Amino acid sequence: MSPLSACLLLSSFLFSIGLAGALTRRNAILVLIGIELMLNAANLNFIAFWRYGANPSALTGVMFTIFSISVAAAEAAVGLSIILAVYRHSKTINLDQMNSMKG
């Protein structure tokens, strides 16, 4: 197995575990963490393809990963503050009990 395949396999595992967490956990904070894990899997893919890819001196993968980390940080801050606002409003962050807009 080539090192690129190992990196891609690890990143697909990270994506799957994040997806499983986002689908099965009922706590909004853990769902957000699962989404962060999926973003991290994409970042690992960028770094792996930059490392073993064709033109590594262009720094494209590194740049994309830096910008992606910044966007993920902004997303985490806004998401957690939305969770805090929802908790203050409905006194729960269990996703099964947030059904006031259910049709």
Partner 1 sequence: MTITFLFLAAITIIGTAAAMTLRNLVHCVLSLTLGLVGLALLYIDLGAQFVGFTQVLVYVGAVAILAVFAIMMTRSAEPSENTSSPFRVSGALIALAVFAVLAWAIFSGTNFLPTSAPQPEASVNQIGIALMHQYVLPLEVIGVLLTAALVGAAVIAMDEVRRAR
Member of 8, 100, 102, 103 binding partner 1 (CB under 8 A): 8
Nearest distance in Å: CB 96, partner 1: 7
**Which two tokens mark 24?**
């099965």
- Which residues, other chains included, contact 15 with Cβ-Cβ below 8 Å and sequence gap of 6+? 37, 38, 41, 42
Task: Return d(Cα 63, Cα 90) in angstroms, integer.
Answer: 40
The DSSP symbol for 103 reads -
Looking at residues 41 to 100 of the shown chain, list those that interact with partner 1 (rule: CB under 8 A). Answer: 43-44, 47-48, 50-52, 56-57, 59, 61-63, 65-67, 69-78, 80-85, 87-89, 93-94, 96
Place of tokens 């962050």: 93
Nearer to partner 1, 1 or 101 (CB): 1
Looking at residues 17 to 36 of the shown chain, list those that interact with partner 1 (rule: CB under 8 A). Answer: 17-21, 23-27, 29-30, 32-34, 36
Residue 65, SS3 per DSSP: helix
Nearer to partner 1, 23 or 101 (CB): 23
